[in-house]
């Protein structure tokens, strides 16, 4: 299966009546929802991009002039989304073998989700591939063109969902770690949630748990990561009293994900590589130093030091403080000179970071 035979059908023809504003042109970051979707699919390597327009078509056509897309006008857009799906399918290139169906009001799909759907379609040979997030089915489905005739023959009652339900034995549900597959913007409240999510530049808590599930992180490790996250939150609160602020969403996500590759050798590096491949470079940089870190005692406290310290204050899922944590570690590696030396280096780094925090807060560190 070649990607040049895969298309996307973006439905942008409706009234947006529940929103009270025109959804395709609502801004998300530096571009509109429609442009965001087009650029995501282009980055995914999709050349056949079909955009179905209807309501306020002239405005959309003007926006689309800068993009290499097929513009499809649905004169019957007032009959609902299914009529736009049928219109788009009728004009699709005969070489197309499968298509993503993406309503414009679900605009923040991530590249890695599209890649997982495509990979599953290519290898599993199923007719309909659905993304699921923490057990809930979302958008966009990737649909084989063998169902084109069934979709076109439907009277539209029950929409596309009703048509595809008849082929549930030929469907595959693929786990993704992308909450946006469930996030539409039917209302202004939905839109505000989407904007806040887009501005995070870090995975949500739910996405962190989906990632840990995806990579098979054990329950005991998840509990450890939860405890480290709690400690990070405490440390951030303490230093904020001195007017020092860090990117809390990124640091808290890094705390949850720092042991995502715990089963693997050199897990800090491997985990960082996984997060970097997903586009979370800031989190990757934090995770790479959570095991070992070089502390510049003359430089200001930094986010990497916060995560490193929080991890070293937690044994399993217990906040136990520096003395108890390192006494256990040294006892465990007794007789292994190299391991003991590494632990002593980590202890020295912990003490240097604590000293920085004590200078900032002007009080003794309570977890010594």
* Residue 244: per-residue pLDDT: 93
The model's confidence at residue 1, banded by pLDDT at 50, 70 and 90, is: very low
Nearest CA-CA partner of 177 in 222, 138, 227: 138
Domain range spanning residue 223?
205-361
Q: Is the per-residue pLDDT at 155 higher than 80?
A: yes
Residue 157 phi/psi, 5-degree rounding, is -70, 120
Q: Does one domain contain both 185 and 225? A: no
Domain membership of residue 116 (yes or no) is: yes
* Residue 248: per-residue pLDDT: 96
Q: What percent of the chain has pLDDT over 70?
A: 99
Each residue of 73-127: pLDDT tens digit? 999 999 999 999 999 999 999 999 999 999 999 999 999 999 999 999 999 999 9
Domain boundary pick from 200, 223, 244 = 200
Domain membership of residue 186 (yes or no) is: yes
Mean pLDDT, the chain, rounded, equals 93
* Residue 123: per-residue pLDDT: 95
Domain membership of residue 366 (yes or no) is: no
Q: What is the DSSP string of 292-350?
A: -----TTSPP-HHHHHHHHHHTEETTEE-HHHHHHHHHHHHTTT-HHHHHHHHHHHHHH
Q: Does one domain contain both 215 and 173? A: no
What CATH number is associated with residue 314?
1.10.3210.10
What CATH number is associated with residue 115?
3.90.550.10
Each residue of 201-220: pLDDT tens digit? 899 999 999 999 999 999 99
* Residue 2: per-residue pLDDT: 58
Give the chain's radius of gyration (CA, Å): 25
Q: Does one domain contain both 176 and 325? A: no
- In angstroms, the CA 212 to CA 221 distance is 10
Q: Does one domain contain both 81 and 26? A: yes
Domain membership of residue 367 (yes or no) is: no
The total number of structural domains that make up the chain: 2
Domain boundary pick from 178, 200, 222 = 200
Domain membership of residue 105 (yes or no) is: yes
Q: How many Cα atoms within 13 Å fall on the side-chain side of residue 43?
A: 14
Domain boundary pick from 200, 221, 249 = 200
Q: Token pair for residue 131? A: 């993304």
- In angstroms, the CA 278 to CA 293 distance is 24
pTM of the model: 0.87
More confident residue, 319 or 28: 28
Domain membership of residue 13 (yes or no) is: yes
| Residues 6 or more apart whose Cβ sits within 8 Å of residue 18 | 186, 187
More confident residue, 288 or 336: 288
Q: Does one domain contain both 175 and 63? A: yes
């Amino acid at each position: 299966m070649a990607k040049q035979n895969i298309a996307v059908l973006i439905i942008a023809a409706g009234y947006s009546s529940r929103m009270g504003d025109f959804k395709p042109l609502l801004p998300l970051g530096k571009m509109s929802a429609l442009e965001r979707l087009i650029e995501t699919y282009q980055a995914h390597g999709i050349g056949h991009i079909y955009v179905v327009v209807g309501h306020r078509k002239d405005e959309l056509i003007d926006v689309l002039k800068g993009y290499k897309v097929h513009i499809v006008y649905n004169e019957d857009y007032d009959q609902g989304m299914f009529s736009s799906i049928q219109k788009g399918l009728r004009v699709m290139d005969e070489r197309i073998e499968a298509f993503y169906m993406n309503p414009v009001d679900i605009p923040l799909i991530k590249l890695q989700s599209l890649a997982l759907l495509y990979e599953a379609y290519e290898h599993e040979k199923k007719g309909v591939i659905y993304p699921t997030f923490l057990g809930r089915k979302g958008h966009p489905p990737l649909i084989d063109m063998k169902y084109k005739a069934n979709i076109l023959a439907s009277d539209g009652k029950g929409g596309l969902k009703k048509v595809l339900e008849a082929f549930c034995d030929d469907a595959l549900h693929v786990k993704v770690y992308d909450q946006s597959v469930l996030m539409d913007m039917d209302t202004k409240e939905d839109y505000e949630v989407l904007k806040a999510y887009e501005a995070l530049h870090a995975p949500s808590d739910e996405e962190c748990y989906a990632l840990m599930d995806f990579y098979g992180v054990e329950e005991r490790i998840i509990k450890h990561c939860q405890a480290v996250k709690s400690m990070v939150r405490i440390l951030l609160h303490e230093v904020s009293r001195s007017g020092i602020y860090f990117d809390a969403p990124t640091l808290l996500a890094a705390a949850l994900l720092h042991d995502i590759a715990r089963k693997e050798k050199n897990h800090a590096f491997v985990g960082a590589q996984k997060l970097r491949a997903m586009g979370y470079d800031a989190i990757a940089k934090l995770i790479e130093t959570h095991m070992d870190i070089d502390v510049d005692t003359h430089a200001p406290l930094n986010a990497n030091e916060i995560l490193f310290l929080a991890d070293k204050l937690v044994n399993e899922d217990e906040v136990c403080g520096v003395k108890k944590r390192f006494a256990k570690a040294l006892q465990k590696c007794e007789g292994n000179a190299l391991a003991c030396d590494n632990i002593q280096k980590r202890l020295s780094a912990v003490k240097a970071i604590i000293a920085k925090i004590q200078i900032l807060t002007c009080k003794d560190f309570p977890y010594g």
